Amino acid sequence: MTLAAFLALASVQMMAAISPGPAVLMTARTGISRGMRAGVFLAAGIGAGAVFWAACALFGLGVIFKVAPALLTVLKVVGGLWLVWIAIQMWRHAAEPLGDSDDAAPPTARAAFWRGITVQLANPKPVVFFGAVFAGLVPPDTALWIKAALLAVVFSTDFLWNVLVARLFSLDRTRAVYLSLKTLIDRVFGGFLALLGAKIALT
Please give the residue range of the domain that contains residue 166: 21-98+106-202
- The number of folded domains in the chain is 1
More confident call, 11 vs 197: 11
Mean pLDDT over 75-97 rounds to 73
Does residue 157 form part of some domain? yes
pLDDT of residue 79: 67
- Kindly state whether residue 48 falls inside one of the protein's structural domains: yes
Strongest mean pLDDT among 21-25, 47-51, 118-122, 192-196: 47-51
Helix, strand, coil share (%) of the chain residues, nearest 5: 80, 0, 20
The DSSP output letter for 94 is T
CB 166 within 8 A of CB 43: yes
Question: Which tens digit of pLDDT belongs to each residue from 97-152?
Answer: 654 333 334 467 788 899 889 888 877 677 767 766 666 667 767 788 888 888 99
Q: Which residues contact 73 (CB under 8 A, 6 or more apart)?
A: none
Residue 9 lies in a domain: no
Tell me whether residue 149 is in a domain: yes
HSE (side-chain half, CA atoms, 13 Å) at 115: 23
CA pair distance 159, 3, nearest whole angstrom: 23
The predicted model gives 20-40 an average pLDDT of 83
In a domain? residue 181: yes
Q: What is the largest CA-CA distance in the chain?
A: 56
- Max avg pLDDT among 61-65, 143-147, 176-180: 143-147
Q: How confident is the model at residue 163 (pLDDT cuts 50, 70, 90)?
A: very high
Contact, 190 vs 28, CB < 8 A?
A: no
Q: What's the chain's average pLDDT?
A: 77
Amino acid at 87: A
* Residue 13 included in any domain: no
Give domain status of residue 11, yes or no: no
Report the distance separating Cα 194 and Cα 171, nearest Å: 26
Q: Within a domain: residue 3?
A: no
